[in-house]
Amino acid sequence: MILALTAAVAAALLVCRLALRERAAPGTARRALAFTRDRRAVAAGLLAGLLLAGLGWRAAGPGALAWAGLAAVLVAALTSGSPGSADGEGPAPGARAAGTGPEGSRDQE
């Protein structure tokens, strides 16, 4: 019972954090939850969640299901492509477009 309660508290904290960020800068929640539209990420999260739920149920009982759910969401978020990309594709983190930034500036030519 305590195991499930701690997972519920952790999930509530994540939701509150998301709500506070959305209130400060509208649109951040949509970008943060973009991984839910990535099929590959959702499939990886479901697979991880099911595996962890099966192992956790045997080791710790039904309280482990909540933690398996949280882990599934984390795996899906980490498996998705770049942040804000619904299809999992996009520029690599830190990538710059041609002609932008100090080393590619057209002003220096």
Q: Where along the chain do its domains lie?
A: 35-81
pLDDT tens sequence across 14-60:
999 999 999 999 999 999 899 999 999 999 999 999 999 999 999 88
3-state secondary structure 46-80: HHHHHHHHHHHHHHHCCCHHHHHHHHHHHHHHHHC
The predicted pLDDT at position 70 comes to 93
What span, in angstroms and rounded, lies between the C-alpha atoms of 61 and 38?
A: 31
What span, in angstroms and rounded, lies between the C-alpha atoms of 34 and 83?
A: 7
pLDDT tens sequence across 56-67:
999 888 888 989
The predicted pLDDT at position 91 comes to 47
What span, in angstroms and rounded, lies between the C-alpha atoms of 88 and 48?
A: 18
